[in-house]
């Protein structure tokens, strides 16, 4: 009689460990005050976020695996944006963030519009939906690059794309211009658990 269903189960989740906040990382010279100012909505950060930020700051390859809604995105965005602040004098793409679906890439672009407005740190979303040229009047924030031509001519500091498009960017002559400054430092695979089987093997080859 218990073959198809069983009684209810109760699962208790422990709270994440909190740290003092981003100002502590400023005092430790891990991030700049400009970066902390952007994330004023984080009066305190979780312990796993602090460890991730410090590891990435120290050039340690990191895998962030934690619960839903526990700030995984901030854990890699904060050190990336901080590095972009520190190297604003150097043009070029410094971070690539890969998403398995365009919907997730669109969400990240929307988030960066809010975070990077007025910072001078540029970003762009390059997917199959990205047009060759776009009327600049459609630009909501000056930091966002909207068209393929614009990103080829003036590569954004942070590039959002998917693994299929990244393969094209590496082999098409016109798109290789995005990497002409040779400033790439970060490669982020968000939702990495979705890259399994043949797709995971493809991603491995692409990264190498």
Residues facing residue 125 across a β-bridge: 160
Residue-level pLDDT at 9: 78
Cβ proximity of 99 and 162 under 8 Å? yes
The answer to whether residues 188 and 96 touch, using CB atoms and an 8 Å cutoff, is yes
* pLDDT beyond 60 at 148: yes
- With pLDDT > 90 as the criterion, what percentage of the chain qualifies? 64
Residue 35 predicted with pLDDT over 80: yes
- Chain centroid to CA 58: 17
Confidence at residue 161, expressed as pLDDT on a 0 to 100 scale? 95
Residue with tokens 């209810």: 8
Residue 133, sorted as left (phi over 0), alpha (psi -120 to 50) or beta, turns out to be beta
- Could you tell me what percent of the chain has a pLDDT over 70? 97
Query: 41: how many CB neighbours lie within 10 A of its CB?
Result: 7
For the stretch 108-137, pLDDT in tens is 999 999 999 999 999 999 999 999 998 878
CB-based contacts of 152, cutoff 8 Å, min separation 6: 174, 175, 177, 178
Q: Average per-residue pLDDT in the chain?
A: 89
Range with the lowest mean pLDDT among 11-15, 51-55, 69-73?
A: 11-15
Using one digit for the tens of pLDDT, what is the confidence trace for 171-208? Answer: 999 999 999 999 999 999 998 888 889 989 988 988 88
Task: Write the secondary structure of the chain as one string of H (helix), E (strand) and C (coil).
Answer: CCCCCCCCCCCCCCCCCECCCHHHHHHCCCCCHHHHHHCCCCCCCEHHHHHHHHHHHCCCCCCCCCCCCCCHHHHHHHHHHHHHHHCCCCCCCCEEEECCCHHHHHHHHHHHHHHHCCCCCCEEECCCCCCCCCCHHHCCCCCEECCHHHHHHCCCCEEEECHHHHHHHHHCHHHHHHHCCCCCCEEEECCHHHCCHHHHHHHHHHHC
Instruction: Identify whether the C-beta of residue 195 lies closer than 8 Å to the C-beta of residue 159.
Output: no
Digit-coded pLDDT (tens) for 50-69: 999 999 999 999 998 887 77
């Amino acid at each position: 009689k218990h073959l198809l269903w069983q009684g209810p189960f109760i699962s208790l989740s422990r709270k994440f460990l909190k740290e003092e906040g981003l100002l502590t990382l400023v005092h430790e010279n891990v991030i700049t005050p400009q970066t902390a100012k952007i994330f004023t909505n984080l009066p305190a950060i979780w312990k796993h976020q602090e460890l991730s930020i410090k590891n990435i700051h120290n050039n340690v390859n990191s895998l962030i695996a934690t619960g839903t809604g526990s700030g995984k995105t901030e854990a890699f965005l904060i050190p990336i944006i901080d590095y972009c602040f520190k190297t604003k004098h150097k043009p070029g793409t410094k971070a690539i963030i890969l998403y398995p679906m365009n919907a997730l890439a669109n969400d990240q672009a929307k988030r960066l519009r809010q975070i990077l407005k007025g910072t001078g740190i540029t970003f762009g979303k390059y997917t199959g939906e990205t047009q060759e040229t776009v009327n600049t009047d459609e630009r909501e924030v000056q930091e966002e690059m909207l068209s393929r031509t614009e990103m080829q001519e003036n590569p954004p500091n942070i590039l959002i794309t998917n693994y299929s498009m990244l393969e094209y960017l590496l082999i098409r002559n016109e798109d290789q211009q995005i990497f002409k400054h040779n400033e790439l430092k970060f490669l982020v695979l968000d939702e990495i658990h979705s890259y399994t089987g043949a797709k995971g093997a493809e991603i491995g080859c692409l990264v190498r």
